[in-house]
Amino acid sequence: MSAPTNGQAAPPRLPAIRHERESREIAQADGDDASIAYLDARLRSERSGSEGAMPPEPVCGCDAAQPTPADALDRAAHAMIAAATGGLSPASALLAWIDWAVHLAVSPGKNAALAVQALQDGLRTCPEWIPGVAALRPPAADDRSDPRFADPAWRTWPFSVYRDTFQAAQAWWEQASSDVRGAEPHHQRLVRFFARQWLDALAPSNFAATNPVVLTTALRTGGANFAFGGRNWLEDYGQWLARLMGVRGVTKAAFKPGRDVATTPGKVVWQGPLCELLQYTPTTAKVARESVFIVPAWIMKYYILDLKPNDSLVRYLVDAGYTVFMISWRNPGSAARDLGLNDYLEQGLMAALRTARERTRGERVHAVGYCLGGTLLSIGAAALARDAKRSPDTVDDPFASVTLLAAQTDFSEPGELGNFIDASELAALDALMWEQGYLDGAQMAAAFQLLNARDLIWSRMMSEYLLGRRSKSSDLMSWNDDTTRMPYRMHSQYLTQLFLGNDLAEGRYCVQGRPLALVDIEAPLFVVGTERDHVSPWRSVYKLHLFTHQALTFLLTAGGHNAGIVSEPGHPGRHYRVATRWPDAPYRSPDAFVAENAPIDGSWWPCWTRWLGERSSGTVKARALEARLPDAPGDYVFEG
């Protein structure tokens, strides 16, 4: 509040005082002491007619309570249990089962429907166990929905019986663990998840005696497939033991950063305690005035976006005429246990952003965030937009646009990853991380594998151990094995505040002691979701429409969390849908988005670069890099 500078009298203050009084009554009814103190200061200022500075906005209560000795003892006990169970909470699973079982037991209608379904399945599958009866039935069509049974041999007796009985059991458990009146939806999903894990483990495709493909291969090779499979198992078991004992570097990477992947020429232009900033060598005489500033997730190495030259998004952007900056995160150890999410924001994203703008003479950037990096970018964009609105003379908004790749900002529906997110599970995981100082990459990888155990665990084991076939390595698979660690405090905050509390979407997440809101972001948004994403389900990503008001272009592409983003032009089987929500346009549901936008064949990368070009303000001479700087990919990418 400053005095008028044009000589005119200030407007009457009575309406403002009345508004503050009404707001104080609401805050008093809610018991919001911080807001009451703030409004009292505002009222005193209004009554006195003071033209001094507005009292500072009250800070939110974000700081966690200091742990007590009792907390330390409880954590130690929980850590022992979590270490024995691989980080899973037995209490969470037991609570889910009790809730489901008790409510199912008092639901006679549901029980009757399940009994009828079981009877019908029995009447359909039991006669098939008799060879003569099975031969009278018409041959079953190819089951393309489940690749485990795609081979034609599964249509012959008795293997067709094994398949049909297994699939009937799958369908029955799907029905039994759904729509149980009174049971918590999260508990039903957890029961369904564990039932699927057991069923996938017991699938007939996993056993040599019940898998026709394995038996045929054994006859053809004279059993050599089992010898090769045993060798593969011994190799994997040795590597697992080495990792268990903390020995790193046992597995030789087929694709090495700087040699096979992460080969786009560039320099390390800044190095901090949490990350390095890479700037790539231009390949065009002119570049866009606004650079592209990429914030990858630190859950994996950055070079998911710079794999081999033919599928490198970084190289594609450089060749399209952009100055590209990339953050390369450090792989933290136990000494980094107290680093929080806002440390990654301030010491990582913000510090790197300042360097990128300094190197481009203060020009704004097209910011890009992938996965967890996109969540951090949305936090940073909201914080900077908030500060720019509060102090427009001293703070500017550095973003010409913001692109989020498979990144969630609302965590109310996190998909199957939500099976691992409840208070009990997070208490177990928090205790495990507290004991170690971090969450190890192998522990995270195990959780992600469980989300798609059919393909990532059991089908792979069948192929490598029963058929004796080693999966051919690829750049994407090699990157997936190059795991990182997550500091204790940061990952605990991420899971508790964002996943469990959904603080970012609900306006409770604080930066510099003040809450922020995504609605403050003014930069145009380009948001990418992928159709088969188990980590960031596209319908969850789509929810950003509910928290922003400016132009938002949403693109839904084929593929999963990684393969959908690494979708270079010419990649077979790719398609996407895209539409823009303009300011003040009515909301469209995810189903309406799919229904109203036909798929477009091809990669989504050209569509995105055209969008960036439309939001760039011309070109400048290509920005040369100093020869004295260290070469990309830098040092941090090699930390194990």
What is the set of active-site residues?
Answer: 371
Q: Are β-strands 286-288 and 619-621 bridged in parallel, bridged antiparallel, or unpaired?
A: antiparallel
In our burial notation (b when 16+ CB lie closer than 10 A, e otherwise), range 291-302 reads bbbbbbbbbbbb
CA distance 355 to 373: 18
Find, among 171, 173, 177, the residue nearest to 189 by Cα: 177
Would you state the torsion angle of the CA atoms of residues 536, 542, 543, 546, taken in this order, to the nearest 10 degrees?
Answer: 160
Q: Hey, what amino acid is at 584? A: D
CA-derived radius of gyration, the chain: 28
Provide φ and ψ at 215, rounded to 5°.
-65, -45
Measured over all CA atoms, what is the biggest interatomic distance in the chain, rounded to whole angstroms? 103
SS3 67: coil
Find, among 416, 326, 398, 317, the residue nearest to 369 by Cα: 326
Residue 592, classified by CB atoms within 10 Å of its CB into exposed (0-12), middle (13-18) or buried (19+), is exposed
Q: Assess contact for 38 and 60: CB atoms under 8 A.
A: no
Provide φ and ψ at 530, rounded to 5°.
-120, 145
- DSSP class per residue in 478-539: HHHHSB--EEHHHHHHIIIIIIIT-TTTTT--EETTEE--GGG--S-EEEEEETT-SSS-HH
Residue 191, classified by CB atoms within 10 Å of its CB into exposed (0-12), middle (13-18) or buried (19+), is buried
CA distance 356 to 362: 8
Residue 58, classified by CB atoms within 10 Å of its CB into exposed (0-12), middle (13-18) or buried (19+), is middle
Q: How many residues does the chain have?
A: 640
- DSSP class per residue in 167-189: HHHHHHHHHHTS--TTS-HHHHH
Q: Assess contact for 602 and 574: CB atoms under 8 A.
A: yes
* Bridge partners (DSSP) listed for residue 268: 278
CA distance 324 to 294: 8
CA distance 440 to 333: 9
DSSP 321: T
DSSP 466: I
Q: Hey, what amino acid is at 29? A: A
Residue with tokens 């997110």: 421
Side-chain-side CA neighbours of 333 within 13 Å: the count stands at 5
Find, among 351, 248, 373, 243, the residue nearest to 299 by Cα: 373
